[in-house]
Amino acid sequence: DTEVTQTPKHLVMGMTNKKSLKCEQHMGHRAMYWYKQKAKKPPELMFVYSYEKLSINESVPSRFSPECPNSSLLNLHLHALQPEDSALYLCASSQGSPQGAPSPLHFGNGTRLTVT
């Protein structure tokens, strides 16, 4: 079982809906990430949070809004999405050492999002 938990596992939403994806980790990691993955493609980075502060936004459209309420939780708020936003959304975490020591990312199993 993955130590990064994502809910819901599947989500179907209309283009006018507002929904949120949730991610939780209890490994004491201080860096958390959102990735988007299309079928048969590698994950693409969307956002990085370091010590609960947004440190990287990969020019993601504003209809995706991340939130990091505390060091264990990461949310992705969705509003007015397009059908082409349908994908697997992956959350990941890493230790995020302030000394800069490298640490691998650990991924959740993702939320399969379908926009109709």
Partner 1 sequence: GQQLNQSPQSMFIQEGEDVSMNCTSSSIFNTWLWYKQDPGEGPVLLIALYKAGELTSNGRLTAQFGITRKDSFLNISASIPSDVGIYFCAGQSSSGNTGKLIFGQGTTLQVKP
Inter-residue contact 76 to 84 (CB < 8 Å): no
Binder among 42, 59, 62, 83 for partner 1 (CB under 8 A):
42
Does 114 contact partner 1 by CB under 8 A? Answer: no
Inter-residue contact 93 to 29 (CB < 8 Å): yes
Full 3-state SS string of 26-49: CCCCCEEEEEEECCCCCCEEEEEE
Binder among 18, 38, 41, 77 for partner 1 (CB under 8 A):
41
AA identity, residue 56: I
User: Whose Cβ is closer to partner 1: residue 79's or residue 106's?
Assistant: 106
Binder among 50, 65, 72, 75 for partner 1 (CB under 8 A):
50
Inter-residue contact 3 to 25 (CB < 8 Å): yes
* Residues within the interface to partner 1 (CB under 8 A): 2, 4, 6, 30-31, 40-43, 45, 48, 50, 55-56, 90, 92, 94, 96-100, 102, 104-110, 112
